[in-house]
Amino acid sequence: MEQYEKEEKIGEGTYGVVYRARDKVTNETIALKKIRLEQEDEGVPSTAIREISLLKEMHHGNIVRLHDVIHSEKRIYLVFEYLDLDLKKFMDSCPEFAKNPTLIKSYLYQILRGVAYCHSHRVLHRDLKPQNLLIDRRTNALKLADFGLARAFGIPVRTFTHEVVTLWYRAPEILLGSRQYSTPVDMWSVGCIFAEMVNQKPLFPGDSEIDELFKIFRVLGTPNEQSWPGVSSLPDYKSAFPKWQAQDLATIVPTLDPAGLDLLSKMLRYEPNKRITARQALEHEYFKDLEMHGKESSSPPSDGSRFTSVKVVHSERAGVASRLLGWVSGVSQQQPRGHRKGLVMDRETPLGPSLGPLLHCAIKMLAISARQ
């Protein structure tokens, strides 16, 4: 631990305390996460050490890089690359985001790339939500964070700070008590995030497990053996559940185009084995007009080295929305060189008529950056 100097406590999450810290050797800013265990007096379980160590081998442009794992004084410290912006913070600060389908599409695509890579390595995330999707201001890349940790440490329903772990992105099979689940639980979460990006509000904001279930039922209909074979045998299923009819998703996410609605409906299938996979989703028609360096052909690449920027064909705003964060960073170039290390303005695309709302959003993001 002598290599790292803590600078500031920046969060207290599901499994421990997060610090912004400095690597004394490289002078790099990193995120240092101290894992708290419920039974620290017994030491760190060897299974947890093995599983976390596996995460060091996960190298992909859409996954936050785990640099190191340190076992010290019956605790585990995780050393991650440092990214100070998450999707929730971005959406809260930039309501104009919902008016940029290009940016929504590019972010969804990147989420799916990261999820597909995790699933191909037999890693479930289990806690996908906007707060766990970090944005690299320098490259516009969106990266999954905190994946695998829930399974490694057996995260309880309540965190150590007594904050209720969000239920809004939890798959119905988990809510109904299933003890056997797999990669489809992550795809349900991606669907909820997709709808939230489009609507700028959570799709199923329940305040308890039963309220969460009922919010899902009101939209998708109360499941039965016809719509979800086997559902009645799940531990927490009740035949007395209120019977709601399914609504048309087009009325729930009214600004989403038909291809997007089709993809969303496939992500929100009740029957887990009928839910679309991340790899299948990457090939969906919704992304047909997405031109991306490193775009998937049949399987995700093993790293993110070929990911650069996103463009939409035949759009006069091509590249502008998807480069919003790069543009925000570019504003700061008026400052002395090196004052904001690594911030480079992308001058490839001229600023078009959509500049107004993006400028407004950019100013907000700079204000957030200045306060941090």
Q: How far apart are CA 81 and CA 58, in angstroms?
A: 13
Q: Which of 244, 119, 132 is nearest to 187 (CA)?
A: 119
Distance CA 256, CA 198 (A): 7
44-72 in b/e burial notation, b at 16+ Cβ within 10 A? beeebeebbeebeebebbbbbbbeebeee
> Is the CB of residue 302 less than 8 Å from the CB of residue 60?
yes
Distance CA 88, CA 132 (A): 9
Own/partner pairs, 250-255, CB within 8 angstroms, 24+ separation = 252/195, 252/199, 252/203, 252/219, 253/195, 253/198, 253/199, 255/98, 255/198, 255/199
Catalytic residue among 41, 68, 86, 127: 127
Q: Concatenate the DSSP letters of all residues of 215-230 into one string.
A: HHHHHH----TTTSTT
Taking the C-alpha atoms of residue 320 and residue 315, their distance in angstroms, rounded to an integer, is 10
What are the CA-CA distances from residue 261 to residues 254, 264, 267 (Å)?
9, 5, 10
Residue 19: HSE in the Cβ half-sphere, 13 Å Cα cutoff: 14
- Structure letter (DSSP) for residue 165: P
CA angle 197, 108, 279 (to 5 degrees): 145
Residue 346 annotated to the active site: no
Alpha helices in the chain (DSSP H): 46-55, 87-93, 101-120, 149-153, 172-175, 184-199, 209-220, 249-252, 258-267, 278-282, 324-331, 355-371
CA 207/CA 166 separation, integer angstroms: 8
| Residue 33 marked as a ligand binder | yes
Estimate to the nearest angstrom the gap between the alpha carbon of 6 and the chain centroid: 26
Is residue 258 within 8 A of residue 264, CB to CB? The reply is: no
Question: Which residues are known to be catalytic?
Answer: 127
In the annotated binding site for ATP, the residues are 33
